[in-house]
Amino acid sequence: MTVPSQSSQSNFGSEVLNKIVERLQSTSDKKKRYEYVLWLAKKLPPMDKELQKEDVKVKGCISKVYVHGELMDGRLKWQGDSDALITKGLLALLIQGLNDLTPEQVIAIDPGFISATGLNSSLTPSRANGFMNILLTMKAQAQRLSIEGS
């Protein structure tokens, strides 16, 4: 089934991620975008402390960030945590956007969604870099889980 393309419709590889991007694009107010990310941080369920190990720690982040993917019935379920609220919000955004996808879908996610959110203009360069590192860590875990699952 083909859906007519609309220039205003995003397609970054996940319906939920597309909706998040569209929500962030709908405001030109940097402060409102930032507040949305902080709101996501507060909604992120706590991560099991036993899972916060070195092998799921995101490399290249100033903050401590942990993200753990688990394959259940062919779909990825994510947990994560960070010691910095804004980073936790970025992590929550990714967890929401990539949850319940297959490993192949996660691997295929277009990182262009990050700039499409407009968040880069609100983030420090190190936070923007950390956002990308979280995504790359999730993609690497999806790749590993895909190999282990086959």
In a domain, 84, yes or no: yes
In a domain, 2, yes or no: no
Q: How far is CA 62 from CA 56, 69, 94, 124, 136, in A?
A: 15, 21, 18, 11, 16
Residue 59: give its domain's CATH number. Answer: 3.90.1010.10
In a domain, 3, yes or no: no
pLDDT digits (tens, 9 = 90+) for 71-128: 999 999 999 999 999 999 999 999 999 999 999 999 999 999 999 999 988 888 889 9
Active-site positions read 61
Residue 56 sits in which domain range?
15-149
Whether the Cβ atoms of residue 134 and residue 90 lie closer than 8 Å to each other: yes
pLDDT at 121: 82
Domain tally, the chain: 1
Q: Which of 127, 66, 133, 135 is closest to 107 using CA atoms?
A: 135
Give the DSSP letter of residue 7: T
What is the pTM assigned to this prediction? Answer: 0.90
- Residue 9 pLDDT class (50, 70, 90 cuts): low
